[in-house]
Amino acid sequence: MPMKTSSSPRFVHHALHGAGFKLTALLAVGVGLASAISLASVSRTVSRDFTPADVDAILAEVQRLRPSEYNLRLPKFVRGQLVGTETYGTLPITQVQRLATSRNVLLNLDSNVIGLVMDPNDASQMASGARATSVPVALDNILQNISINRYQYLR
């Protein structure tokens, strides 16, 4: 005797006409609502490219650091149009590569890269409050709606 499955017409007929009709209908509505809610959640997830405002916000944050503590390769905009990339900071790219290697990340030298190396034991950083942690947190907030495949953030 073949096993009844949820897709067989006989199973559906018995499920709908038996005592479990209301439960089956309620279950179908519940599954439909759960699907709609999950699709709505996914559609609200903002994932976008960099904007000139994002670049300006990142540059404003890193101004609180010494140029030797970061190496940024960010999109360059002229009159709102993307025209290439620009590099900021004096942290050698070899240090960013070492940081990537230590984190088991393959560094893509053609992508937008945000590399931060800050010494938490540096007295000037400790004297400035929580600068060593506030800049990365601020950058996390700026980057949260930008598509993750648009940059590499190493710290």
Query: In which region does residue 135 sit, left (phi positive, over 0), alpha (psi from -120 to 50) or beta (all else)?
Result: alpha
pTM (global) more than 0.95? no
Element (H, E) at 101: helix 93-102
Q: Note the helical H segments in 19-63.
A: 21-44, 52-62
pLDDT band, residue 19 (cuts 50/70/90): very low
Whole-angstrom CA distances from 91 to 2, 70, 95, 97, 105 are 70, 5, 7, 11, 18
pLDDT at 54 over 90: yes
Listed range (20-29, 69-78, 91-100, 107-116) with the worst mean pLDDT:
20-29
pLDDT digits (tens, 9 = 90+) for 95-130: 999 999 999 999 988 888 888 886 655 544 445 555
pLDDT band, residue 46 (cuts 50/70/90): low
